[in-house]
Structure 1
Amino acid sequence: MLRRTEYWNVSTGTVRSGATGHGESVTDVEDYLIPLDRARTSGLHGWGVAAGLRVTATVGTAGVTVLPGMAVDAAGNAVVLAPGGLAVVDPTVDPDQLQNVPTVPVEVTGVGVATAPGDFLLTLTWREVLGDNTVANAPALLHAPWLRLVAAAGFADTGKQIVLAGVTVDADGKVATVTAGLRHPVGLPAGKVELRIPRARRDGTALTADQGAAAELAADADGNVVLSLSGDVPRKALTVEAATGRVDLFGELSFGGLPAVSPDGGRLVLNKNKAFARGISTPGSLAAGGLNVGGANGGADLGAGNLGVAGWLRVGGNTTLSNAMLAVIDNTPENTWNTAAFFKPACGPHWSHVHWGTTGDWYIRSSAAGGKVVLQDSGGRVGVGTSSPATTLDVVGTIGLNNRVAVSSGDSYLRLNQNGQFASGVHTPGVFSSTSLNVGGAFGWGNPGLGNLAVTGRACIGTEDTGLARLTVKGNGTSHAIWAIADGDRAGIWAIGRPAGIFWGNVDIRGTLTKGDNQFRIDHPLDPAGKVLCHSNVESDEMKNVYDGVAELGADGTATVALPEWFEALNERFRYQLTPIGRAAPGLHIATELTGNRFGIAGGEPGDKVSWQITGVRHDVYARAHPLVVESEKDEADRGSYLFPELHGEPVSRAMGYVER
């Protein structure tokens, strides 16, 4: 129980007489000791939770529990919830009330707080209440922290109330969630933090046990964070630069107990003493600005892994690089010596290799069957079937696909399938037209012109099944089958026909759908095999929505119609219509207009049924961004043209966007 003598008589506003009335005592306690303690606590720790004060609850059960603990508020008050003490849990009590404040005892198991529906923050506030003094003839001020649930919306986290948790309570008053909310611990602002350890010493026959400094964490004059090790010879261990965030390590870095990195004369040495059997290591000191990779056996024991080099890399020899990121140096003159060899057991017993030729040629060769590719040096050429290529790529012979002649030479231009060995495919009857490709086959081809592709038969993309269409496109499940993009006011897809398009499945339109008519067309419910049934839509010069239903009037002849929670967010400018069912109701009327997604009906008899209808005009963000324009002038390019020219006695060539075919 935390308590202190009440020096002030709250009834008269004066100092109490008698033993408690000494002005010196009042001054010492009220004007010095208490303010000094608050200033010290606030300055050293800030405000927040210091210890304990765990919040517990059970999902689906009413009430939360706060376990004992301590916090500090922004004024420096220590707020203690201690077993045997008191707490205030009534959220409606006057914050300035001292007398007759209801309290509850603080148990070892904590203090319970009742819950009500809503989204709250559970807070702890410093508070004192008047109580009995068992050790002096004067009232006592009892420390009774105030626990309460306050609305999360609009809460100002200033430290007057310490937040312990966020609590969400359902409509039945039962806890749904408990979160940390705005809870945070007290801080410790300091210029340095000294880490101490217990120690025992012996000096001859003298024995001592105390504690001493082990390390110090501080910020220097430049704002850098410095970790220093104490001891007989203090030394710097690590710094973090304020300007760059760079971390400097002063000492050795080990992995798994083995030395891995140590400083050496301003350079970084990896595993100087070769303590790793495998890995990145150096036989000696690092060369300035470079990396030597060797290991105990000259690099042979590095094991499987990767090597990434940000600069240039030299393999073999000791020749100076010449503007190369990778230099492979081989001083063996004969071309039977491999500069680089490649072997994959799964592909067979043969090695593939790269090597120099005796005349400076560069060879890529397989020791399997014959055939070679020669890559020459600057200004060189690639030859297939020849050792003396005359062009950048020189193929002597033909190029075949599936054992059929696909490309052959012999003319001053390129011919595909010159000998007609394919029944159809990509080929030309003569010379290619510039930048175009004719696709025809046995049935001929057209003249598509520059940069176009003409197909006289059927084309398939993503499938080999042409079906009944000239163009068949099939998606692969991860991409759209057709993606059409047009510039300006051109159409992404332009279709003409009766009908112009048939869709099997749902159609998603991310924009405005304009049309001359809009119908649904289904199999006739009474004769589905022999007839169809069509209906048109109800249309308006506004973006209007229509909702209706039937309400039954209560005992007072009224009814309230509840609409979805999104109703008013979607609609505005409401219109109503009421129709009594079964008998006339002359007094039937709208009693209350729509508010809170509800409207009221009155003026009927108890039990009457009323058919209601309400309409609204859309005012959501999309509707406001794309308002319906009822009348507009045609664009200059469309003047004199018609959407449906034949209905006005005009030829189809007068249609808007008409293209002559």
Structure 2
Amino acid sequence: MAKQQPRVHVWLMLAVLLGTAVYAIAEDLTLVTYYPSPRGVYNELRARGNVQIGSITAPADPATAPRLHVVGGADTTQVLIAANATQSNTNPLLRALASNGTTELFRLHSDDTFNLFLGSNAGQSNTVTGVFTQGLFNTFVGSGAGFSNTRGEENTAAGSLALSSNTTGWRNTAVGFRALESNTTGGANTAMGRRALRANTTGGANTATGASALEFNTTGDGNTATGMRALSINTTGRFNTATGDAALASNTTGGANTATGSAALARNTTGANNIAMGFGAGDNVTVGSNNIVIGFDIDAPSAAGSNQLTIGNLIFGTGVDGTGTTLSTGGVGIGTTTPTAKLHVVQEGPAPALWVDDTAGDTTPFIVTAVGSVGIGTTAPLNTLHVHSAGGVAPRLRFTNPVTGAGGADGAWLGQGGPGGPGLLPDFVLWNLENAPLRFGTNNTPRMIITGGGFVGIGTTNPLARLQVRTGGATVAGAFQNTTPGGTALTVQGRVLVNGDMSVIDGTFTATDKRFTINHPIDPQRKLLIHGTLEGPESAVFYRGESALTNGTATLALPAYFEALTRPEGRTVMVTPKGLTPFAVSATEVQDGRFSVYGTKADGAFYWEVKAVRADVPPLDVEVDKTTSDQ
């Protein structure tokens, strides 16, 4: 009972003093607890147009002092407001009004230990209910923040009208004027910035950072927008990522786009799966999908095209359609937007189209010049392909396949050096390491072959000799020519077999021993018949025949060409009687291709023979000195 006495006296004194204060407005009003009290004389109320709790020291200037000044005491709780049974979200713990006494500035209230609502109409509809106690862990700060929330949980809203339409959505965070204003049931959204995610209703797992970021998103989910107006008019598009002012600003339903950079993919509306990195990158893309655009203010080759790649308007790609581990079907172009191969390089101007070097600073191993010349080991190729070896390795091209194998003794090579090693030699070599032929052809037709056994066939793919030349029709199978007077066109050592005619058109035929061989006419299966030639120190012709005298004389005509073929000097005519009865016979010289025969027997038969020297060839040099090559 002793503890209640000070309280009774305080209220009695308060009633008296308050009554006195009405008539003594200029006086101070001091309320002191009954002394001695548990807290001493320091627990008092002092009023001079102001209210001060916890101190008896008057303010220096009451006009500028706070209307309510609470000086802390020894308790841990300095100000305690206890709600009554009628306190609710519409009957707050604390309200602040404007000077007119009616306009509400803000209110402070809470309906549970885990909720805090600060602001006019903030959290006004929140309801803590249900078997699992829904509507908890919400913090709403700002006029109208979380106004419609009923059973939504774990929401945080800071800003006027932030999350104001939310009813059951949960785990949302909204910071900024009208951030997530229209959200009703969407969950796990984060909106930071004026009007960020303002129109979102049921979309979830969106993150918007920046004024008007994802402002018009309604049901799209999984979007991330960082930057003012990023993804600002997106409505139902999903899984987009926009970083930068106005990135993906026009996107509405396109999904899975990634834009990094101010105005990146700014005009995309329904295109999906696009990637753009850089200021204004891909800002011409509208409805195309699966495009990759990288670089400052770089556009896609086609605004409505899909599966395109461009990096800095230097590297381009087509058919970028691979997903997972599936390879894309297109090609890569350097300097061209329309590659015709997996890698297509185009260079305009005098600079090389391709240059490959190593970090050791060695001789450039590979270069493609502006005119298309390829240099390997040289930076200044002199031909379309120029291979140069500056070290100890011979320049060679090696060819192998799964049949030959890829070992050191497999395949074939073309280049310089000796066949036995890699030494630097001037020899140019085409070398097949396999027991297989070398084939040569033109006009899509086989022309020559060198078999694995070393046989060479020209006009045949199955030569039966070291060199076999085959042809048909009037084509000459082989021709050898030495334009140097006295030079040798062909040297053959050993037997020469000719099956057919052999002609010396212009020149001489020289042999140490000239003979012909034929099958023996009587025993052709077992024997040959060999004859030699009749030789002399001149290039002579002869004609022979038989005739008979008429009245002891006869005139014979030689071929019409005789006079043109033979020299007039050195012609001889021989006549021989025919038969058992001898008689005398003689002949005249050949004149005008004719000669006459006379005999003692009026009708005597005879044999004749005419020899002459050819006029179309020079006389033979019978005895000559050997040339150096003949010695």
Normalising by structure 2, we get a TM-score of 0.35
Q: Which structure shows the bigger proportion of residues in strand conformation?
A: 1
